[in-house]
Chains A and B, each alone.
Chain A
């Protein structure tokens, strides 16, 4: 066409970013990449290689090594060898390395962007304006934490050797999210990029060598799922950090169960995008574009469920369709396209299959009138209306440019629909009414909430999910905890290591206690829903003193008792969560008050059951309850300084219904410390008390009953610990489980928790209890709420 003709229709012409510099870089490496282990490029012991393709045209970009078990072992050893030096490298020096990495990525920003677009198929606009700048920012931000660690995390130390497995949708950015905090906190890493998108990780490895990062601090192993599996299973790895599908996350949870490996999982989502009738609809339309057509919808936090208030649904859908006609899809190197290629044929087929299934289930499909390129792996932006909450489209993560639309009538219904999912990664809320928007933000179960915005990311803010979207955070101070552990962490103790028992006669508390009178027979039932109920089984077991003396009986709780207790705890959760912290504190103080009233009796029981100094333990328990009450209104969130005109609130929220399997030692103190803090922060509990000393917990019923603890908030089921642990760990309505017991029990609980990916915390059966800061962190999950503002 001539310029005169072009003036008639004013089309966008091609605007291609040159691929040549990236292709030259590949060529300089003979289009072949070995493994980066111990600071050197090493061919794979497996002798296997595989191609990485450009999804936009199917052409092979390079051959990369398939790391086998021997290579994984070599890399883990290299990381272990480097660990000693790296963890002792002063924070300021680590900061300099991270700063240098940030600078290097920045200096080669365009090469990274083009390489990423070639390897992944996402538009150059995104790699250039989003992926690479955010990756740079992540290294800068964590250079700061390396600098500050000695001061700000004085009682923490690195976890050790970290295995990191990242997905193909944001290859460089996910690498940054994984490596920057790990290195900042003094860990060494073995990172496996996704087999479809290994190239930017390899370029990054080159930069690591260039900045003089000590060999072995960062090791990059390319390979497929087998490499990942070998890394996960390797005994020399102290922690696994994984981003990817919920299914693989579940497998990793099962495989690492009982290994003592720390684990963080960032998994799938089906995030709601909620538009209220008082929203700026034109802006909400742009929000949808950023939510579901960003990176072709291949985003874990994609706003894939559009919830529209009925009154504006029709208008909004019409606006969306008009907007979709304007989207441009094509060669991802074109600077003027909105959408590029789908990562590969497998994903494309999956998208097609799910959409067909959705249509078969009754959804109405709409796609823009323009044609999708025949060559390469492309799928058009797709809108589905009349989607029922029960349909596949509303429930399953599609991981493509497919939007499922549902409608709601009231804010309450919006919340119900939003939370009607197994996931809980992100949510986007559109309303010009701050009352409404913040109300919904606090009720949506999601780790990240964007108000009148979507898909905002920054290194200073935490990112991560609730529920089956995983656990752990990346970014912000909250992300650091995944890469540190408390100095001198407790190891599980054997029974031999138990402290010496005190003599029963030695306690002054007992001197005046009328042991001589025959006691009235007491029936210790279970405590469920605020009432003492008989165990379903109809069985009791005898509790003996250390010297063999018979002390009483407790009910043998079973599966059904756990079911009832969880149901009670679930029912009590929302009201308790919404009870002001001040009032929760008052109830904890009241518990202490009523316990203190009966201190002598409790001291006697403790001493009788454990042979320990009962009075001291009661005093310690009273102090623990006071501490819990104190923390109730002092475990505060923060406002992250993210580089936008907004308030980014990081709020600790209770996890929900928690199962708590108490340690054998210190039955009352453990109860007061662990349950007290969990309760203080708004969780509701199903407690399985110390097997050895359950009568302390059953005595506690009366204290609970007299202290205004709302029914269902605090439930106690006595019985066989590991049996009940199994039921609790498998229960889909339990959000977290704390288990104190032997290693085999850790494995059992962690494996069973994979079902709904509940958070687990395993503790030794004996020995000192954890510090409050750890308990508080375990009792909460951070929700980041982004609130942009502007008059």
Chain B
């Protein structure tokens, strides 16, 4: 199926590597220094005016527009998909001088049960559907059932699978078990792209985040992702910095490019820019593209629209003017 979507995934997939404990054990991470770098990233860089408009429009392309609520219905998912197809009002794009731009989000992210609805609503748009899986968000269902869940979603047409790792493997230092688990998930994903959710807020330390990132990449993840959005602490810049540094280290070691997805708590346009700055500074332009960078968010899009409106018309906007998802 990947072959049918060449433009969406232009890099060679990370096949993973044999488990290499040596690389995992060798990691060094200094929390205070990481926090300092993370804190100064947004103060060292900023984008204004049309540059900001370009960055924000680009940010939209990287959004995994998400609904993961217990009360999701086909109706709410269809609304979300409509927003995914047309994330910004055409008249606003016109005002910004990009009326011809075919703008859509990176993917729509839903639970398994909503995959058919989303596929139907997005038909012909080229927007992939991502399904959260493997007992999302806690990941404590039986391993066998997790594999079946992945297979079911892929069979239903999901092109991206967001799996959750077993946090206990990290917290007990059982890296081999983590590797095997994610390897199994990857096999079950087959052609679908796999994003491994670390749930960084539950891993206890930045060192564990770094180690888990490396193990997940060794096990063949296409993306590593910060959070489910359901933990007490979700995407933060320090966690993200550690993960993108792991991506860089893995790339330098193997030559494979793994993507990064911060998710959970990214609600403002300013935050989206901060994460784009992080990617540009630590990994460069290619890693800002949707095939290597996604922001998992639901409310973010509306705030970006408001900012764009301000950039286009020079006055501050109201949420009521931004169509709901």
Contacts and interface: CB of A to CB of B under 8 A. Distances in A.
Interface of A: 1-4, 6-7, 9-15, 125, 129, 278-284, 286-287, 326, 335-336, 338, 432, 452-453, 644-646, 788-791
Interface stretch (B41-49, B145-153, B216-224): B41-49
A452 B44 contact: no
B97 A645 contact: no
Nearest to B58: A7
A577 to B, nearest CB: 30
A322 to B, nearest CB: 9
Given A3-B97, A13-B49, 4 more contacts: A1-B50, A3-B50, A279-B30, A788-B30
Interface string B240-273: 0000010000000000000000000000000000
B43 A13 contact: no
B50 A338 contact: no
Contact of A283 (B34, B46, B205, B288): B34
A279 to B, nearest CB: 6
A790 B35 contact: yes
B29 A280 contact: yes
Contact of B31 (A13, A286, A287, A791): A791
Interface of B: 28-37, 43-55, 57-58, 96-98, 100-101, 204-205, 245, 276, 280-281, 285, 288
B101 to A, nearest CB: 6
A290 to B, nearest CB: 8
Given A3-B57, A10-B58, A14-B48, A281 B28 contact: yes
A336 B273 CA distance: 13
14 contacts: A3-B54, A3-B97, A4-B98, A7-B54, A10-B288, A12-B47, A12-B51, A283-B29, A286-B36, A286-B37, A326-B281, A336-B46, A646-B32, A788-B32
Given A3-B53, A280-B29, A10 B276 contact: yes
A335 B51 contact: no
The 9 residue pairs across chains A and B that have the minimum distance between CB atoms: A13-B51, A790-B31, A283-B33, A6-B54, A788-B32, A280-B30, A280-B28, A15-B48, A286-B37
B28 A645 contact: no
Contacts of A283: 29-30, 33-34, 37
Given A3-B96, A286-B36, A452 B30 contact: yes
A1 B276 CA distance: 20
Contact of A6 (B45, B51, B100, B245): B51
A432 B43 contact: no
A791 B36 contact: no
A15 B49 CA distance: 9
B34 A2 contact: no
A791 B47 CA distance: 33
A230 to B, nearest CB: 42
A303 to B, nearest CB: 14
A335 B46 contact: yes
A11 B57 contact: no
A2 B49 CA distance: 12
Contact of A13 (B50, B96, B101, B280): B50
A790 B35 CA distance: 10
Contacts of B35: 790
Of B29, B100, B205, most A-chain CB atoms within 10 Å: B29
A452 B48 contact: no
Nearest to A786: B32
Given A3-B96, A326-B281, A13 B47 contact: yes
Nearest to A128: B43
B50 A6 contact: yes
A696 to B, nearest CB: 55
Nearest to B45: A336
A312 to B, nearest CB: 10
Nearest to B277: A12
A286 B285 contact: no
Contacts of B54: 3-4, 6-7, 10
A646 B36 CA distance: 13
A126 to B, nearest CB: 10
A10 B55 contact: yes
A788 B46 CA distance: 28
Given A3-B97, A12-B51, A13-B51, A788 B45 contact: no
A12 B181 CA distance: 41
Contacts of A129: 43
Nearest to B26: A278
B28 A278 contact: yes
Of B28, B48, B280, most A-chain CB atoms within 10 Å: B28
Nearest to A285: B37
Contacts of A6: 50-51, 53-54
Contacts of B45: 12, 336
B31 A125 contact: no
Of B33, B37, B276, B288, most A-chain CB atoms within 10 Å: B33
B286 to A, nearest CB: 11
A452 B34 CA distance: 10
Given A11-B51, A280-B28, A3 B98 contact: yes
A10 B50 contact: no
Nearest to B276: A10
B128 to A, nearest CB: 20
A9 B285 CA distance: 7
Of B37, B51, B280, most A-chain CB atoms within 10 Å: B51
B33 A2 contact: no
Nearest to A287: B33
A4 B99 CA distance: 10
B33 A286 contact: yes
A432 B28 contact: yes
A615 to B, nearest CB: 60
Contacts of A7: 54, 57-58, 98, 101
A335 B52 CA distance: 14
B44 A125 contact: yes
A645 B285 CA distance: 34
A13 B288 contact: no
Of A3, A125, A789, most B-chain CB atoms within 10 Å: A3
